[in-house]
A and B are shown apart, each in its own frame.
Chain A
Amino acid sequence: MTALLLALILAAPAPESFPEPIRPFLKAKAKDGTPVLSAQDVEKLAQMPERTRQLVAAAADNMILGSADHLRILLSLDLAPQGMEVVLQDNCILCHSDPGNVKPRVLFSPDPAKQGSNPLLDLREFVSDVHFRRGLSCSGCHGGTPKDESMVSEIGERWPKADDRHKDRSWIPDFCARCHADPSFMRGFNPTLPTDQLAKYRESKHGVLLLQQKDSHAAQCVSCHGVHGIRGPKSRKSTVNPQRIPDTCGSCHASPGHMAGYKTDAGAPMPVNQVAEYKASVHGQALLVKGDLGAPSCTGCHGSHAAMPPAVASVAQVCRRCHVINGQLFDGSKHKVAFESHTWPECGQCHGKHAIVRATDALVGDKPGTLCHDCHKSYAGNNAACDKTAASFRATLDELAAGRAEVAPREEELAEKGLDVEPLSRAVGELDEALVQTRTRVHSFDPGTFQQAAAPASDALAKARESIAAARGDYRFRQRGLFLAIGSIGLLALAIGLKVREVERRRNGR
């Protein structure tokens, strides 16, 4: 390490090679006598394109780049030359990032906690913001121009007065929509980004609360997207990345304090356990643990800008967006009518809402404890035909599942013996596919439809068993062949052995 530092020091560019206004910074010392700019900082300066270095010199000459420490802070951001040039030509950033120029309360720094400034004034986050990266800087929202050398009166005039704007947040959606609802303006930055967010938001539960009922606790743009560090949803650091959405929504919806006083449509207190339930659910596990971005997060069912609770009539339509075949089968079943008469939310009635767990065969059956039995007992009375259907479904599913558990492990066992397991592998694949189809057909609640999928599954299971028997037969053939070969070769070896002894005896006798 010492040698590396020594090498860096020896290889450091001479101060004379930098423009004159920068040179004092190179010699500046901290209170403990060490240089403010490290050898790496000087190297970064040396590696800058000439134009960028001239901008550093100009900012230093204008004294808007106030000190070596200020330069060190800017260099620590490790910006690409283009980013650094935007910063160096933006007086708002330059002034508000100079610890010697502004009070900690309004200072942007790479470490706000250490500087005692507002956590929202994180300089590193700011230069990562999607707006900054597309050329929109402070003045885009706050007013003024990047060239202003002092705080002009226009700054702040775009927003309500400080006291008002914190009490009433309803100005925020319209403020963001100045750009985001303007297709011709947005086309210049991201033509694929929708511009109907505000229209959707107005119709959403959040929008109704904020804009109509003036409830400033309701979520608006910055509640979910943040400020000064806004990123696109593909960024893993973004608060609206699919894998971070549950926590973003949960920051309000899992907070008893925040949700106190809110009611569901049915008039019950708004629950705060949805996020916890979701995280333990099959969808939450798929998204958050397995990283399956196809799995829904909160917005997958509730929508994002138009977020609202799905009504009973529409909840099943939300599920159908992914579980298409199950929905179609259910629509053609007797249960469709029965559920409608009870105003039950179709899928959710059996599978639940936020806490949906992986459905198992144990849900099906005519015995107490199974979903079919318990529900029919409560709402449909004794129905022998239904019980028979449920029992036959369960028996078939159990038989196929047990068969799969029996044949699948044989694949590895036979492969280790060097046997051809391709037919078995193919049959197990067919069985898996048919088993999925069979389980799906349960949603038809019709024995005929169910059997259409169950029959191929049974065929695949039979084929798998035949493959195992054939492979085992092949192995027995190999063993018998080996014993035969060993026997033959052994006899030949014995004959040669006897001949060796005879020759030896004859030679010794001689």
Chain B
Amino acid sequence: MSLYGWLDKRYDLGPLVKFLQHKEVPVGAHSLFWYYLGGLTLFFFMVQVGSGALLLVYYQVGESTSYESIRFITTKVPFGWLVRSIHCWSAHLMIVSLVLHMLSTMLLKAYRAPRELTWVTGFALFAIALGFGFSGYLLPWNELAFFATAVGTDSVKAVPGVGEWLMQVMRGGPDVSGNTLYRFFALHVVILPLITFGVVGVHLLFIQKQGMAPPIGHVPSRGMKFFPDFAMRDVLLWLLCLMLLGSLAVFLPYGPHLPGVEWELGHKANPLAPAYPGIKPEWYFLWVYQLLKEFPPHIFGLEGPQGAVAVVSLLMAVWALVPWLDRRARRGEASPAFTDLGIAAVLFIAFLTLKAWDIGGGGAVQPDPNAVARACAIWILVAGFAATALRFALWRHTWFVFSAAALLHAALHGLFGVSYLPAGAIAALAAVAGATLTRPGPALAGEPK
């Protein structure tokens, strides 16, 4: 008796095989590439689990052991350097892949009914991935990690009412200490993985149950068999990414040396040492970090950081609720406003990230903020106009109100010297006025809906 027969006799594999044989991936006008991003994110997550488990063999959490054990792993353990480097690279690439996956879902309106909960579970996975990044950053217990965590956890104080309490819960006391390290370790290797397995399971279950979302207006004339056609392509992409990971780990073992994308161990954390200038969080938190800096100490009766946290929370809430806000997509109609909202979000976050990177600052420790704002605005305007031209040329997009508001924001702040928040308020008003006056019309011929 074959193995399949042996298993089938015990577990009745027939329905599962039938399901896999009939499962298809929609093939439409859009590139099939977007459908690989979810699987790619899953691949990077599996690499994280595998490499993380290997690191756990030697990693010893503790104020007097964390730094030393990571140093031991990277210098003495055979292939320890490779495992750590792959763990770090894969973490960043997972976030990249996850963000692209979410963005493609946004632009293809794959969140629309009946897949609202798939979007919400995906959004939850995004938040969990950020939690993984934040908690894992402290574990080497080096200088950069210590101060970045001190700044990051301090910003939690801005949450109204419970901020101070929340910060103390995160830190395990008033300051970042060994208690914080133990908490973050537990979060990183036990709590978050357990939650992730659960949420990923639900996310995948929804996808298997409902299938992959075809673009709006797509007539399912033909589909690609998920198994083996799509699955083999998935594996092919994973193998290419594995080669990429290996190459990056060998040639750039400590990252590309950009602020927020580097993991050189440096010096051990010293809680008594003064913080040094230029401490920045990881790249995917840079926009929040910069937004905190843009707020004055007090605004509308709130502390500045409270204002920033309120804005970030509002934006995140809007993003999470997009499936319910986008009524056109729900009805299966083209929804150019939400397509433009996705582009505007990218421009908004990219502008803040470039500013946090001090692009145009000439490498100075305290760069001229006006020069930085100007250089970043120019980059964003160039990228924004190029994206707009491309959208019009390729897909005949004609509704650009939100992305134009994001560009107006960058131009007012960077080129005309208006402060960030007033410029943002003007741009937001312009966006509301523009959206009210120019109701997005039906899609043009050839426009993806």
Q: CB within 8 Å of B: which residues of A?
A: 416-418, 420, 422, 478-479, 482, 485-486, 489-490, 492-493, 496-497, 499-500, 503-504, 507
A-B contact pairs, 19 of them (CB 8 A): A416-B254, A417-B253, A418-B253, A418-B254, A420-B75, A478-B82, A482-B246, A482-B247, A486-B247, A489-B239, A490-B243, A492-B239, A493-B236, A493-B239, A500-B229, A500-B236, A503-B229, A504-B229, A507-B225
The total of chain B residues at the interface (CB under 8 A) is 22
Asked whether, in the complex, the Cβ of A499 is within 8 Å of the Cβ of B232, the reply is yes
- Which residue of chain B lies nearest to A416 when distances are taken between CB atoms in the complex? B254
Partner of A503 from B75, B81, B228, B247 at Cβ < 8 Å: B228
* Complex CA–CA separation, A497 to B81 (angstroms): 31
Asked whether, in the complex, the Cβ of A479 is within 8 Å of the Cβ of B250, the reply is yes
Whether B177 sits at the interface, judged by CB under 8 Å, is no
Interface membership of chain B positions 234-262, coded 1 if the CB is closer than 8 angstroms to chain A and 0 otherwise: 01100110110011001001100000000
Q: CB within 8 Å of A: which residues of B?
A: 74-76, 81-82, 85, 225, 228-229, 232-233, 235-236, 239-240, 242-243, 246-247, 250, 253-254
* Complex CA–CA separation, A58 to B121 (angstroms): 77
CB contacts (< 8 Å) of A416 on chain B: these are 254
* Complex CA–CA separation, A237 to B246 (angstroms): 60
CB distance from B58 to the nearest CB of A (A): 15
- Which residue of chain A lies nearest to B236 when distances are taken between CB atoms in the complex? A496
CB distance from A38 to the nearest CB of B (A): 26
Across chains A and B, the number of contacting residue pairs, with CB separation under 8 Å, is: 48
Asked whether, in the complex, the Cβ of A489 is within 8 Å of the Cβ of B228, the reply is no
* Complex CA–CA separation, A479 to B247 (angstroms): 9
CB contacts (< 8 Å) of B233 on chain A: these are 500
Asked whether, in the complex, the Cβ of A496 is within 8 Å of the Cβ of B239, the reply is yes
* Complex CA–CA separation, A500 to B232 (angstroms): 7
* Complex CA–CA separation, A462 to B410 (angstroms): 58
Asked whether, in the complex, the Cβ of A418 is within 8 Å of the Cβ of B242, the reply is no
Asked whether, in the complex, the Cβ of B232 is within 8 Å of the Cβ of A486, the reply is no
Please judge, given known A-B contacts A416-B254, A418-B81, A418-B254, whether A486 and B74 are in contact too, CB under 8 Å. no
- Which residue of chain B lies nearest to A474 when distances are taken between CB atoms in the complex? B81
Please judge, given known A-B contacts A418-B74, A478-B250, whether A489 and B243 are in contact too, CB under 8 Å. yes
CB distance from B272 to the nearest CB of A (A): 21
Asked whether, in the complex, the Cβ of B250 is within 8 Å of the Cβ of A482, the reply is yes
* Complex CA–CA separation, A503 to B231 (angstroms): 12
- Which residue of chain A lies nearest to B235 when distances are taken between CB atoms in the complex? A496
* Complex CA–CA separation, A54 to B76 (angstroms): 73
CB contacts (< 8 Å) of A489 on chain B: these are 239, 242-243, 246
Partner of A486 from B76, B81, B235, B243 at Cβ < 8 Å: B243
CB contacts (< 8 Å) of B82 on chain A: these are 478
* Complex CA–CA separation, A418 to B88 (angstroms): 13
CB contacts (< 8 Å) of B225 on chain A: these are 507
Partner of B246 from A420, A486, A493, A504 at Cβ < 8 Å: A486
Further 18 A-B residue pairs, CB within 8 A, beyond A489-B239, A489-B246: A417-B253, A418-B253, A418-B254, A420-B74, A420-B75, A422-B75, A478-B82, A479-B250, A486-B243, A486-B246, A486-B247, A493-B236, A496-B232, A496-B239, A497-B236, A500-B229, A500-B233, A507-B225
